[in-house]
Structure 1
Amino acid sequence: METEIHQKLYATAIKHGLDISGGQVRRSSSRFCFGVEHGDYNGMELFGVGTDRYIWLAYKPNTTGHIRIFSENFPEDGVVELAVDRPADAGSLLNSWARFPHGVAHVLQREGYALNTGFDAVLYGNIPGGGMSRSASLALNLILTYLEVNGIEVLDGMRIVDLAQMVETDYIGSPCGKLDQIMIYFAKAGMGTYFNPNTHSIEHVPFGGNPDAFRIVSLDTGTKRPGLEKSTYKVRREECEDIRAQLAAEFGYQTLADVDSEATYLAANRHLQAVAPASAGKRLKYLYEAQCRFADTLAAWRAGDIARVGRNFRADGIGLRDDYEISGPELESMCDIARTVEGVYGERMLGGGDKGASGAIIDAEAFEALSTAVTRAYPLAHPQYSDHYAVHVCQITDGIVTEALSV
């Protein structure tokens, strides 16, 4: 597949007058989070893996001081061109993927990185449009490319994560946390990535059993989310900040992760019942219960108990649906179908919510049955997406890989 992708990128470059001959290809992964989904902006521990739905960027430095880049996924935009040291204002690029190359140039220069060298590039990605972190993958890929062609070395991985978040929050206006960037940048093939926000540390955790005994599956609904800034995600972030402010005033909590025991949860919930909308208690309920499940999920992964990981994954999904109310009808249809299939350990919506992909953790022998069930039932439930949905087995993969363009 990699050779075919390289050939595709090279042919596209020739077609659009871009010179990438003898250049490089950087591949950035998607991610699959085991917990705590939506915990990153609430100060909680995170655990997940990189998955093999990718963005590929083929590139070669040029001497023009301009970036010229074409996306196979958005051909209607043509070749996007910008002076590397003069990115456009975000307001002039609304609803265009070109916000990302402009945003990366803007953030890097604002943060003190001198950009002088441009490059020609072609992009192609097969990450679903919501749920598996397409935007974070793109931002990371572009940042690393800008830095490399300009001879800038940044050894601190968390600094790269921070820069990628800034592109989305400060330039694009998407209120994302750091879960996606962390899970992609630090991902290692065959390993889970555990992030402890208290120590800002990364631990790579091998699965304690037979990794060939289970599969991770992407259930792409065929729907596309326009961006976190236009989704329910933004509303939930604002709600969580309001809840945190209420609890900080009453109990001195710095994040909602401080609600970490039955006693603190019951006290916080009583307070919210008195001063906040009823929805606040539901949001806190999901976060508290998901945080309680997190340690068990991590322990189950270490022990090789994928069925227990799946049960917690399913419980998180029910909480995201009923208490956090961040899912959507197509996402839940995929989950409803998956729950009918023997050998599916757990399923839930993925990512920021509303649209995109759900995910499932399954026995290795259950994929054909799951795929058949989805093929039979999903088009009946959502005929408008009958030509757009997909079911993919995902491998646990490295987050970032760079290699010579091979054609």
Structure 2
Amino acid sequence: MLFSALFFAFSILILAQILQKRARIAKIAHEKTCAKFTNSVTQRIKSAKNQLVSYFINDIVRPTSTGLKMEDKQAIEKLKSAAAQTGLDISHCKIRRTSSRFCIGVEHGDYNGTELFGVGTDRFIWFAYKPNGTPKNRLFSVNLPSDGIIEFQSGNIPAPQSANVVNSWARFPYGVDYILRKNGYKLDKGIDGVIYGNIPGGGMSRSASLTLNLILTMLEVNNIEVSDDFKIIEMAQAVENEYIGSPCGQLDQIMIYFAKENMGTHYNPRQRKIDYVPLGKGGEDLRIVVMDTGTDRPGLDKSTYKIRRAECEQLVKLAQAKGYKIKNLADIKDDQLFNDITAAFKNSNPDLCDRLKYIYKAQNRFYKMMDAWRAGDIATVGSVFREDGIGLRDEYKISGPELEAMCDIARTVDGVLGERMLGGGDKGASGALVKSDSVEKLKKTVESEYPKAAQGYASKFAVHTCKIVDGVKVFNMEG
């Protein structure tokens, strides 16, 4: 009996040891399985993390060429072709694209001190550029191939407004170099670059777009950061004022540099402040149409713009001499002051009083237009645009025959809410605010009637429906 009990106890002990051993084996196997699973998960996490980092670096931090519009792709082909023909190396380069602009109000208000409102539009300048490892810049324009390659080293450029560059687009990169160096920036890294643009020859700020593009590119290539956006604006204006000799204000630069997709840009000069204003609900039917007359203005320095600006400044000085405390024509806001100054000078300077009348009335209309834009009241926005056009034609007297021919034609089309000349005046493009279902009718009417009104430009004009776009964009060119 005792033997049986001892045998049973011994058997239980042996069985317990066997079970413990199996348990240890199972535990080890389980731990190995868990470790293997953990390692697998860890590797997958690392892989996903690396992919995320790679995506962030390549597609967020670095500019990208994915998702390009057809017009970008077509421009890139032109840039590549020109580079191949000229021997400039832009392989795997960056491209900076700057927009045109469409001013909704107040045209010619910038140098008179008014508030401004406009949008960036999808007519562009593309600049493909790449550091070339030398201090020399080598630039070529697809649009002006007869000028050849513009080659220069920073500081070794003609003097401002030199006769030998007055008719060459080289005055823009020279002017950028001149102004950046004047502001204390050292530009010792040269680039190879090719430029192409499809902005009309007047009215949509081709020169401001080019100048901003060159400034931003030269700063980037030379690792220079400018924290004050308005300093960029001021330097772009200075390129045209000081080096080129064009007396432009800041409207064009502001409306391009700050432009944001699907937003209107409002600038208050007294507060030096930018606000983005979406078109209100109900305004989805509005379309912006640019009617390029086919004419090309050589520059503001050779235009009526220069005369009108001088006239406005002259009237301010005359009013100040009479004791009126104004800094610019925008300071004349109330009826009493307007009537007093008009009465004081209407006999001696009737033309100057006409210039004042346009600015005074356009400034008052501006606030009505802004309220309508916010409310989506496109009919009122269009009617103000039309009134401004009549004022530019009859009071400011800065339009031109081809510009007005386009406006006269547009005015006959149902669904055109407003039309007027754009930009500096004389030549270039007119603009229209149009209901979406009337755009094609406007295009067909212009195609039919404009060649009759301006026979010399029958094969040169064009009509564009514009999108509201970002003013500045940078992406990579593959290959």
Q: Does 1:22 align with 2:95?
A: no
Q: Does 1:262 align with 2:332?
A: no
Is residue 96–residue 126 contact of structure 2 (8 Å, CA) maintained in 1? yes
Q: Which residue of 1 aligns with 2:122?
A: 52
**Which residue type is aligned with residue 55 of structure 1?**
I
The Cα shift of 1:249 comes to: 2.1
Is residue 191–residue 204 contact of structure 1 (8 Å, CA) maintained in 2? yes
Q: Which residue of 1 aligns with 2:460?
A: 388
Is residue 106–residue 116 contact of structure 2 (8 Å, CA) maintained in 1? yes
Match of residue 40, structure 1, among 94, 110, 123: 110
- Which contiguous aligned blocks of 4+ residues in structure 1 show a shift greater than 6 angstroms? none
Match of residue 82, structure 1, among 148, 152, 158: 152
**Which residue type is aligned with residue 63 of structure 1?**
G
In structure 2, distance between residues paired with 1:155 and 1:15: 38
Residue correspondence of structure 1 range 4-403 to structure 2 within 5 A:
4-89=74-159, 90-91=161-162, 92-210=164-282, 212-250=284-322, 251-274=324-347, 276-403=348-475
The Cα shift of 1:79 comes to: 0.8
Is residue 97–residue 474 contact of structure 2 (8 Å, CA) maintained in 1? yes
Choose between structure 1 and 2 for higher RCO, CA contacts under 8 A separated by at least 6 residues.
1
CA deviation map 1:38-91 (0-9, x unaligned) = 010011100000000000000001112111111011011011111123222241
In structure 1, distance between residues paired with 2:478 and 2:266: 34
RMSD: 0.9
In structure 2, distance between residues paired with 1:240 and 1:20: 46
Q: How many corresponding residue pairs?
A: 406
CA deviation map 1:192-218 (0-9, x unaligned) = 000001010000111112454111000
Q: Which residue of 1 aligns with 2:477?
A: 405
Q: Secondary structure at the match of 1:284?
A: helix
CA deviation map 1:344-386 (0-9, x unaligned) = 0000000000000000000011111100110111000111101
Is residue 7–residue 406 contact of structure 1 (8 Å, CA) maintained in 2? no
**Which residue type is aligned with residue 198 of structure 2?**
N
The Cα shift of 1:94 comes to: 1.5
Is residue 85–residue 116 contact of structure 1 (8 Å, CA) maintained in 2? no
CA deviation map 1:90-113 (0-9, x unaligned) = 412111111001110011001111
Is residue 282–residue 377 contact of structure 2 (8 Å, CA) maintained in 1? no
Is residue 219–residue 359 contact of structure 1 (8 Å, CA) maintained in 2? yes
Q: Which moved more, 1:234-243 or 1:205-214?
A: 205-214
Q: Which residue of 1 aligns with 2:56?
A: none
The Cα shift of 1:7 comes to: 2.2
In structure 2, distance between residues paired with 1:126 and 1:140: 16
The Cα shift of 1:325 comes to: 0.2
Is residue 78–residue 142 contact of structure 2 (8 Å, CA) maintained in 1? no
Instruction: Please report the TM-score for the alignment, with normalisation by the length of structure 2.
Output: 0.84
In structure 1, distance between residues paired with 2:165 and 2:257: 27
In structure 2, distance between residues paired with 1:7 and 1:375: 29
In structure 2, distance between residues paired with 1:170 and 1:351: 20
Is residue 93–residue 128 contact of structure 2 (8 Å, CA) maintained in 1? yes
In structure 2, distance between residues paired with 1:160 and 1:235: 26
CA deviation map 1:270-312 (0-9, x unaligned) = 11225x3211111111010000000011111111111111100
**Structure whose alpha-carbon radius of gyration is higher:** 2
Q: Secondary structure at the match of 1:194?
A: strand
**Which residue type is aligned with residue 94 of structure 2?**
Q
Q: Secondary structure at the match of 1:246?
A: helix
Is residue 283–residue 377 contact of structure 2 (8 Å, CA) maintained in 1? no
The Cα shift of 1:11 comes to: 2.0
Instruction: Please report the TM-score for the alignment, with normalisation by the length of structure 1.
Output: 0.98
Q: Secondary structure at the match of 1:120?
A: strand
In structure 2, distance between residues paired with 1:46 and 1:74: 32
In structure 2, distance between residues paired with 1:170 and 1:185: 20
Q: Percent identity?
A: 56
Structure 1 unaligned blocks of 5 or more: none
Q: Which moved more, 1:25-34 or 1:83-92?
A: 83-92
The Cα shift of 1:406 comes to: 3.4
Q: Secondary structure at the match of 1:234?
A: helix
In structure 2, distance between residues paired with 1:95 and 1:281: 35
**Which residue type is aligned with residue 384 of structure 1?**
G
In structure 1, distance between residues paired with 2:365 and 2:401: 25
Is residue 33–residue 48 contact of structure 1 (8 Å, CA) maintained in 2? yes
**Which residue type is aligned with residue 267 of structure 1?**
D
Q: Which moved more, 1:255-264 or 1:131-140?
A: 255-264
Q: Provide closer, same or farther for how the CA distance between residues 82 and 224 of structure 1 changes in structure 2, counting only shifts above 3 A.
A: same
Structure 2 unaligned blocks of 5 or more: 1-69
Q: Secondary structure at the match of 2:346?
A: helix
